[in-house]
Each structure stands twice: as C-alpha cells, then as structure tokens.
Amino acid sequence: MIMVNRSCILLLLLVSCISTAFSDTCPTPDSLRDRKIPGQYEWTVQEGVTLDNILGARRLYAVRIYNFDEYVSCHYTTGKWPVKLDGKPLNNKCRLLPESGEWTGTDSGTLVCREKDPAKCGFRLDCDQGTRKNPG
C-alpha cells in the first residue's frame, strides 16, 4: 500500500514537471542580462525604456496575457521604476494560452497570473489555423 502511494505521488510530480517544462515563461532578470530571451516572440518595451532599464531588471513581479490571447506582458522591478517587456508571437496565426500556474480572466480580455512566484506562470503558443479571435 505504501509503495502504491509513493508511486502515485511520484507520477503526479512527474506530470507536473513535464507540463511546466514545455511551457514558456517570462525571461528571468538574469536571462535578460545575458540577452537570452525566447525567439518565437517579438519583444517590445514601452516608450522611454532604454536597454539599460531592461538589463537592470531586478525581479519579475507580474505576468499577464492581454487582448484576448494576443501578447504576454512581463512586469519587472528595476532600481528606478517598473518596466514591462511585451512578447507577441512572431506567427500572427498563433495565440497565447496559459499553461501552468493559477490564472484568472477579466472582462476586458486580460488573463492575470495569480502565482506568488511569477516564474511559475507558464504560457504556450497555440498555432492551429483559424483559432485567433483577433487576427493581427
């Protein structure tokens, strides 16, 4: 009986790790400094943000998917003011879907990750033909 319970727990942990291993997440501050960000997205920042601002990111504090699955927004603290790094799929037929973590939706079409550790907020690309609600 104890061996069966351990096997079930191990299987659940394995499935949990596999689902997060294949999902994308916002770049960590270290990966931003190393300039290693996922290449399947076009990354942009708001006006007035410099490369030094992005490279000075200290902590990821929020992850959101905006405009009914169109782009992901990664919010970071810096030494001065918060910065956002937005990622839109390079393939405009793809949409972003939550993959791991706890997400809630809003009436305005925003999905907000509610995890205490935003690094656990995984998302994935869904590139099936004809699935985009708002073609870009």
> Which pLDDT tens digit goes with each residue over 39-48?
999 999 999 9
**Distance in angstroms (rounded) separating the CA atoms of residues 133 and 135:** 6
Residue type, 75: H
% of residues, the chain, pLDDT over 70: 78
pLDDT band at 22 (very low <50, low <70, confident <90, very high): low
Residue 12 neighbours by CB distance under 10 Å? 10
* Count of residues making up the chain: 136
| pLDDT, tens only, 67-114 | 999 999 999 999 989 999 999 999 989 999 999 999 999 999 999 999
Contact between 125 and 77 under an 8 Å Cβ cutoff? The reply is no
Helices (H), 22-135: 29-33, 51-55
**Distance in angstroms (rounded) separating the CA atoms of residues 131 and 109:** 16
Distances (CA, A) of 111 to 36, 37, 51, 108: 25, 22, 27, 9
First to last CA, the chain: 54
Q: Residue ranges per domain, the chain?
A: 24-126
Quickly tell me which residue has 């990966």 as its tokens.
31
The two structure tokens encoding residue 65: 């998917």
pLDDT band at 10 (very low <50, low <70, confident <90, very high): very low
Q: How high is the pLDDT of residue 130?
A: 53
**Distance in angstroms (rounded) separating the CA atoms of residues 41 and 29:** 17
